[in-house]
Structure formats: structure tokens, C-alpha cells
Structure 1
Amino acid sequence: MNLNATLYVQFAVFFILAIFTMKFVWPPLMKALDERAERIANGLAAADRGKADLAAAEKRVQAEMAGARDEVQKRIVEAEKRAAQIIDAAKQSAVEEAARIVAAAKADAEQQVTRAREELRGQVASLAVQGAEQILKREVNAAAHADLLSKLSTEL
């Protein structure tokens, strides 16, 4: 065989194979590569959107946290004010109760003092009457009367 003819035949087969590959093999291969590139691009875009969404979510979370902290601080301040009001009310109530107890004790003591004075007056009157009886039963003697009066004063 002739070397030139073989080269021409091989060239023709190669050319036919190249055309067949360009017509039937190359388009599906390029389509698969394009689809893969598109999926990769979509994945990267989704990742970027995800990052942006994450950043936005973090900002919203920070804003919510700040709002929650402010609300907690307000409630703590309100609770402290309420506690102070309750303590003041309890102190005022205790002062009023103490004043009532002191007033009742003073009134009771005053009544007891009055009762004791009345009893003492009754006893003094009784002793005075007894002393007068004893003085009148005896003879009129200054020394004897002085003795009776000193006894009377010791009994008082």
C-alpha cells in the first residue's frame, strides 16, 4: 500500500470522526458542562444570599436583644420602685401601729394610775377614820396623839 494513500485515508477517518464528535458527542458534553457551571454559579449566588440573610438576621437578633434588654431594665426599675413603695407603706403602717400601741399603753397606764389613786384615796380615808376612832377612844393626850399620828403616817 501506498503511504500517501494511507495518510489520506487516516486523515479522512480522523476528519469524519472529528465531525461526528462535533455533531453528536460535543453538544451533550458542552451541555453537561454548562449545566454544571450554572449549578455552581447558582450555588455561589445562594451562598451569597445566605450570607446576606444571615447578616440581616444577626442585625434583627441584635435589635431584638437590645429591645429585650431595655424592656428588662424598665421592668427592673419598675419593680424596684414598687418594692420601695411597698417598703414605705409597710414602714408607715408600722409607725401608725406603733403609735396606736403607744397610745393604748398610755391610756391603759393612765387608767391604772387613776384606779390606784382612787384605791389609795379609799385606803387613806379608811385609815383616817380608823385613826380618828382611836384618837377619840383615848383620852386627850398630846404625846399619845403624836404617837398615833406617827403610826398613821407609817401606814400611809
Structure 2
Amino acid sequence: MNLNASMLGQAISFVIFVWLCMKYVWPPLTAMLDERQKEIAEGLRHSENAAKELEIAKANGAQIIEDAKRNVTEMVEQGNKRRSEIISLAQQEAEQEKARILEQGRAELEGERQKLRQELQAKMADAVIESAQKLISKNLDSEANRALVDQLISEI
């Protein structure tokens, strides 16, 4: 056999093999590679979108935290203001109650004073009437009258 004929046979076999591969093997491989390339590109696009969404979420999270801090600060300020109002109101009520109690005490004191005056006046009137009766019933000298008045004063 000739070297040229065997080479030609091998070349024809190789061409048939390449043609069969190009017809039946190569299209599914290229389709699979194209599909894989699309999946990778889509995955990269999704990861870029996810990174953007993550940045947006971080920004939103920071904004939410700032809003929450601001709200907490406002609530604390409102609480302090309300506490001050309550304390002020309680102080005013205490002052009013103190004034009312003092006025009530003064009124009671004045009532007691008037009662004592009336009792004292009644006793004095009784004492004067009694002493007048004794003086009238006894006609004594001025020293005896003086002693009787001193005795009545000491009794009072």
C-alpha cells in the first residue's frame, strides 16, 4: 500500500469525522455554551442589581435609623415638657391648697377668738353683776370694796 493512499484515506476519514462532529456534536455544544454564557451574564446582572438594591437598602436603613433617633429625641423632649407642666401644675395646686388651709385656719382661729371674747364678756358681765350685787347688799367702807374688787379680779 501506498503512503499517499493511506494518507488520503485518513484525510477523508478525518473530514467525515469533522463533518459529523460539526453536524451532530458541535451545535449542541455551542448551544450549551451560549446558554451557559447567557446564564452567567444574567447572574452578573442580577448580582449588580442586588448590589444596587443592597446600597439602596443600606441608605433606607440609615434614613430609618435617623428618623427613629429624631422621633425618640422628640418624644423625650415632649416627655420632659409634659413633666415640667405636671410639676408646675402640682406646685400651683399645692400653693392653692396651702392658701385654702391657711385661710381655713385663720377663719377657725377668728371663730375661736370671737367665741372666747363672748365667753369672756359673759363671765365679765356675770362678775360685774355679782360684784355689784355684793356691793349693794353690803355697805362697806372703801377698803372693803377695794379688797372685794381685787378678789374678783384675781378670780378672773
The whole-number CA distance in structure 2 between the counterparts of 1:88 and 1:71 is 25
| Counterpart in the other structure of 2:153 | 153
After superposition, the C-alpha distances for 1:21-67 in whole angstroms (9 at most, x for unaligned) are: 12221121011011101101110110111011110111012112212
Matched, 1:11 2:11: yes
| Counterpart in the other structure of 2:134 | 134
The whole-number CA distance in structure 1 between the counterparts of 2:152 and 2:117 is 18
TM-score, scaled relative to structure 2: 0.89
% of aligned pairs identical? 31
CA RMSD of aligned residues (A): 1.7
After superposition, the C-alpha distances for 1:91-140 in whole angstroms (9 at most, x for unaligned) are: 11221121122112101211110111111011011011112222222231
Matched, 1:114 2:114: yes
TM-score, scaled relative to structure 1: 0.89
Which blocks of at least 5 consecutive residues in structure 2 are unaligned?
A: none
Aligned residues, how many?
156
Q: Relative to structure 2, which stretch is displaced further, 39-48 or 73-82?
A: 73-82
> What is the deviation of 1:2?
4.5
SS of residue matched to 2:140: coil
- Residue type at the aligned position of 1:30: T
